[in-house]
Amino acid sequence: MDEIRNIFYRLNLTDYSLNDQEKRHSNTWGLFADLTKEISELSFWDDFNLFNYGDIKRMKDEEFCSSLILLARKGIINQTNQNPLNDAYLDYSTNYPEYNDDKNRILKWIDTFKLFYTPESKSFIRKRTQLYTIFCLMDYLTEEKIEVTPHMVSRFNNFVQKYNLFENSSDTEEVSNPEDEAIKKYKLASSEGVNKIRNRKLRYEI
């Protein structure tokens, strides 16, 4: 109750209203909320500086971790509104037998993620759209028990480098090879409707 009072006290001191995640945090309790908090409090997020102060202050880190749990629960889904998260907080509030399985699955993703991370890819990875896509890839690698090789890491970093260059170019610029065409499609799927299942799956497949 003290935490809820603090939230409303903060509201009286500011000009903004609660966002969707803050509302869930203030009025929805249960096992799904507990796992969200447990995942969001891992030192991993701070160690790799994946969320800034504003993200944490407005609980965007918890919202992202909630989406990761949904990824573990249901795979890539349409998330253009808050309904999937709202439903999950309610559906898995008291009956969540897969709690530890989902937690361990996400921990495996994190361990695999660490193998791909480089300072050069940091700006790309920190964007939540790309971070979600990378975790989709981590899920595939861990579920299929695919060993990460230096060649795979090199290919990933090469993709990030080309994407960053392509992102700063014109959408109408001619592409000369299949890799550039794929990056162009990825860019378009990252620019609008980013939480639509079609665009999520397209980015993951590319």
| Number of C-beta neighbours around residue 201 at 10 A | 16
Confidence of residue 6 (pLDDT cuts 50, 70, 90): low
Handedness of CA 56, 62, 63, 64 (dihedral sign): positive
Instruction: For 94-108, write each residue's pLDDT tens digit.
Output: 999 999 999 999 999
Instruction: For 145-185, write each residue's pLDDT tens digit.
Output: 999 999 999 999 999 999 998 866 655 556 668 888 999 99
For 18-27, 67-76, 152-161, which range has the lowest pLDDT when averaged over its residues?
A: 18-27
- Cα–Cα distance, 184 to 178 (Å, whole number): 10
Angle at 36 between CA 30 and CA 41, to 5 degrees: 125
Per the prediction, the chain carries an average pLDDT of: 88
* Tokens encoding 23: 């509302």
Phi and psi (nearest 5°) for 94? -120, -20
Q: What value does the mean pLDDT take over residues 180-199?
A: 94
Say what the pTM is.
Answer: 0.86
